[in-house]
A and B are shown apart, each in its own frame.
Chain A
């Protein structure tokens, strides 16, 4: 299967806070193709986790959500609440930064996995155990027989994350939402988990929405990427072109500020200022107060969407509608 799997359109999330309405997502739009690894990147507080949770329907009660989430072109809002839960439960899986916290310390890995497998398929006895082993094997755990009887704290962080991925795969989802899945791991273990995610997408056609603050992780793993700033996608496109020819000043600034061998013993270019809070009114471009290239229009006119070839887009006043 190929083609568009997930489309997020104009996603807005407001929180009711004691200080007023806080706009956490201000119209997030992007699309993920079947079987691809798609990166959602940005600095802390820009709305990465919230985007993932909103797709999964896991928003806190003080949140107001607008916009749409579609799977295979089907707007989830058009489904009955029951059907919507089913579709999400079956087609989407999620893993988090801290697998140690997500796993239950008092049950063995086997018990926790079996519970999930049973939830999705009515297997019992030998079939249930076999399916559990298959999943552990698929996520590269060498001796499922031993792992099944282990408690989470017996496992290293990397192994725990593999178990989490295995559990997320139990429903045979089409999309895995991975929120900073390697941030707590060493680079060597990170490389293994990223290579596992790549394998899952290539061999099993599971699409991955990889949420991360690490541009290197995106470059190593993703085919396409969306850069999030203050609750909005400011640039989206193929990783190769976004990283080699970024158009948005924020993307440019982020990439420039990374220490790389070529910049050794030099001052790094920095982005001054800080990310605006959701309470601030931002009538124009949210990046304007920090942007070196800002034009007079940037402060109070929302920047237009500009498309470049192929499938590379940004939101910025610097370019005209033909992408120049």
Chain B
């Protein structure tokens, strides 16, 4: 395993406001368990607010972690000594949805891509001059882009520059948080192809976060479905998409509009909206929206249980074994 996440829990202080300002905290990730093998893509899906971005941020130490463990290549990421942090975290790079906010508007493409190499004293200046154009070629950009500024790039080109920069330090893992959400369909296809090629050629592992299930399905080997800060079902991508077991996964997949609506089995849609993590439902968090809810679901929280090659959090599945 490249990375093991055990019991990862993240809380934010709740902003005291119209409730009278009493300090309480909101748990947005609760007891998250995930695994990622080398060179593999784990797709993380879930509605907005389910905690996907918080997960990405927690791995990079960008939000305080309440408890849990992240072991990356054997090192405990959350308890590293300062000197080790630099060495280990360069192996993990993150790419966000909006490439323009990831790029300094005043830096030329050359300097943006060279920045991590300089910061980590990775290469002598002459080597950097050679390596940067090479990285650009890797992401399908010609050297003519070296002197451009971010505003002279299209969304797809800017996202390629961000990827080139992420590759500069030869990472093992790319955390991709909605990397194609801001792009047009035809550009999205180009970036998805690029991601597949980079993975093949560099043996990269991806933690691929997206609300777009068809994009996740396209790239992922395994899938984790999140709901209100918990994983409700995870397993091999073909299994999850082909035979979803958890009631929430089933409903989520049903809601995706496809080019072949005639293949759809039911027209039902999930009722109600996602509750706020500040007031999580009692028992099973899915219960206010679950078509199969039972009395017990309102009281008892189901544990994450393993079934053959998948894990799921649901009383009905635990019973059925």
Contacts and interface: CB of A to CB of B under 8 A. Distances in A.
B27 to A, nearest CB: 20
Given A268-B192, A274-B154, A243 B259 contact: yes
A257 B252 contact: no
B184 A43 contact: yes
A216 B185 contact: no
A125 B299 CA distance: 45
Given A187-B256, A214-B257, A274-B154, A257 B186 contact: yes
A215 interface: yes
A301 interface: no
Contact of B189 (A158, A265, A269): A269
A150 to B, nearest CB: 13
A122 B112 CA distance: 61
Given A43-B185, A254-B185, A259 B215 contact: yes
B186 A43 contact: yes
B257 A253 contact: no
Q: What range describes how many residues of B lie at the interface? A: 35 or more
B269 A253 contact: no
A264 interface: yes
A259 B218 contact: yes
Given A253-B186, A257-B185, A260-B214, A191 B259 contact: no
Contact of B185 (A189, A219, A258): A258
Contact of B273 (A158, A261, A263, A267): A158
Nearest to A193: B269
B40 to A, nearest CB: 13
Contacts of A188: 47, 251-252, 255, 269-270
B186 A270 contact: yes
A164 to B, nearest CB: 16
Interface in A189-222: 189-192, 194-195, 213-217, 219-221
B60 interface: no
Nearest to A256: B189
A221 B241 CA distance: 23
Interface string B190-201: 101100100000
A149 interface: no
A144 to B, nearest CB: 16
Interface in A210-263: 213-217, 219-221, 243, 253-255, 257-261, 263
Contact of B47 (A159, A186, A255): A186
Interface in A265-312: 265, 267-271, 274
B186 A186 contact: no
A44 interface: yes
A195 B267 CA distance: 9
Most interface-central of B47, B184, B260 (chain A CB within 10 A): B184
A271 B215 contact: no
Nearest to B258: A216
A186 B189 contact: no
Contacts of A221: 257
B273 A159 contact: yes
Given A254-B185, A259-B189, A259-B217, A191 B241 contact: no
Q: What range describes how many residues of A lie at the interface? A: 35 or more
B54 interface: no
Given A44-B184, A158-B273, A219 B261 contact: yes
A219 B260 contact: yes
A263 B215 CA distance: 11
Given A257-B189, A269-B189, A270-B190, A213 B217 contact: no
Given A158-B273, A254-B186, A268-B189, A220 B214 contact: no
Contacts of A321: none
B90 interface: no
Given A158-B273, A195-B269, A258 B255 contact: no
Nearest to B251: A188
B189 A213 contact: no
B5 interface: no
Contacts of A44: 184
Nearest to A159: B273
Contact of A219 (B186, B241, B259): B259
Contacts of A104: none
Contacts of B211: 186-187
Contact of A215 (B185, B215, B252, B256): B185
Contacts of A213: 184-185
A187 B154 contact: no
Contacts of B273: 156, 158-159, 189
Interface in B183-233: 184-186, 188-190, 192-193, 196, 211, 213-215, 217-218
8 contacts: A43-B186, A186-B47, A188-B251, A190-B257, A264-B218, A264-B237, A268-B193, A269-B189
Interface of B: 47-48, 154, 184-186, 188-190, 192-193, 196, 211, 213-215, 217-218, 237, 241, 251-252, 254-261, 267, 269-270, 273-274
Given A187-B257, A265-B196, 16 more contacts: A187-B47, A188-B47, A188-B251, A189-B273, A191-B255, A191-B269, A192-B269, A216-B214, A219-B257, A221-B257, A259-B217, A260-B258, A267-B196, A268-B192, A268-B218, A271-B186
